Amino acid sequence: MGLYRDQVLPRIVDLAMRGGDLEEVRARVAAGLDGEVLEIGFGSGLNIPFYPATITRVWAVDPAAVGRKLAAKRAAASAVPIDYIGLDAERLPVGDASADHVLSTWTLCTIPDPMVALAEVIRVLRPGGAFHFAEHGRSPDAKVARTQDRLNPLQQRVFGGCNVNRPIGELVTACGLELTRLENYYLKGPQATGYIFEGIAVKP
């Protein structure tokens, strides 16, 4: 799994996570970002084209070295400075209350302990700062949720630890953030992998 996870999977994700519907989601989630932004799960930089001009700097965190290579052209074309600062969202290498916003798109599903990562998010956010996110997770439809539970072990093996059945909204509020916007919907395609939590949560 080492070669597959480190070299092949980032390229698969880069191709799979492009497209019209996903770009619309990325644009909505990035709207309103300004100042200093920390992005967890930076990956191949698919959010870069949607960074508002009001962002002064992005700190990028991602464990995949190949993702950084895939992001190189996008990062070079970006008007927003991008600094790679770490590999692990569970241990963010920045000080307390140092970020105006944190951005996460399809990332909490793969982090081994999302609550530890969210505790880090709330630590690094300035008071009044916001967590902007789009994640897939557990459907409220019992039939779909059962399918997600059955699928999850295979999903984890094939997609680098990705979980399709995490209750993202509950996790975000449990860490102490206050939801100011949350939209739930299915993307086109299989419902088991396409139930989306899209929103903004603010640090009190």
CB 44 within 8 A of CB 22: no
Instruction: Compute the average pLDDT of residues 88-102.
Output: 97
**Is residue 40 pLDDT above 90, yes or no?**
yes
Coil, strand or helix at 23:
helix
DSSP 42-93: -TT-TTGGG--TTEEEEEEE-S-HHHHHHHHHHHHH-SS-EEEEES-TTS--
pTM: 0.95
Q: What is the mean pLDDT of the chain?
A: 96
Token look-up 């899209």 returns 198
Q: What is the pLDDT of residues 47-93, one digit of tens each?
A: 999 999 999 999 999 998 898 999 999 999 999 999 999 999 999 99
CATH of the domain at 37: 3.40.50.150
CB 98 within 8 A of CB 59: no
Strand partners, 83: 59
Domain housing 173: 2-202
How many structural domains are present in the chain? 1
Q: What is the pLDDT of residues 168-190, one digit of tens each?
A: 999 999 999 999 999 999 999 99
Task: Give the residue ranges of DSSP H helices in the chain.
Answer: 2-3, 9-16, 20-30, 65-77, 114-124, 142-158, 168-174
Strand partners, 182: 199
